Structure 1
Amino acid sequence: MRSYCKLLLTLSLGLAAAAASAQNTPVGKWHTIDDETGEVKSLIAITEAGGVLAGRIEQLLRKGADPKASCLKCEDDRKGQPMVGLEIIRGAKQAKGETIWEGGEILDPEKGKTYKLKLTPIEGGAKLQVRGYLGPFYRTQVWNRVQ
Structure 2
Amino acid sequence: MKHLFLFFLISMSITVSAQNIVGQWETYDDKTNEKKALIEISETNDVYSAKIIDKFVGDKDSVCEKCEGEKKNHPMIGLVIIEDIKKDGDEYSDGTILDPESGDVYSCYLKLVNANKLKVRGFLGVSLFGRTQYWIRKQ
CA distance in 2, matches of 1:26, 1:44: 11
Q: Does 1:84 align with 2:66?
A: no
Structure 1 length-normalised TM: 0.80
Structure 2 length-normalised TM: 0.84
Which of 95, 118, 121 is the matching residue for 1:128? 118
In the TM superposition, what is the alpha-carbon distance from 1:76 to its structure 2 partner?
Answer: 2.6
After the TM superposition, which segments of 4 or more aligned residues of structure 1 sit over 2 Å from their partners?
Answer: 20-24
Q: Does 1:139 align with 2:131?
A: yes
Contact map agreement 2:120 2:135 (CA 8 A) in 1: yes
Q: Does 1:56 align with 2:46?
A: no
Gaps of 5+ in 1: 1-16
Q: Does 1:100 align with 2:95?
A: no
Question: Cα RMSD between the aligned structures?
Answer: 1.6
Of structures 1 and 2, the larger Rg is shown by: 1
For residue 77 of structure 1, give the secondary structure of its aligned residue in structure 2: helix
Q: Does 1:42 align with 2:34?
A: no
Contact map agreement 2:16 2:112 (CA 8 A) in 1: no
| C-alpha distance 76-110 of structure 1, shift in aligned 2 (>3 A) | same
For residue 71 of structure 2, give the secondary structure of its aligned residue in structure 1: coil
Aligned length: 124
In the TM superposition, what is the alpha-carbon distance from 1:21 to its structure 2 partner?
Answer: 5.7
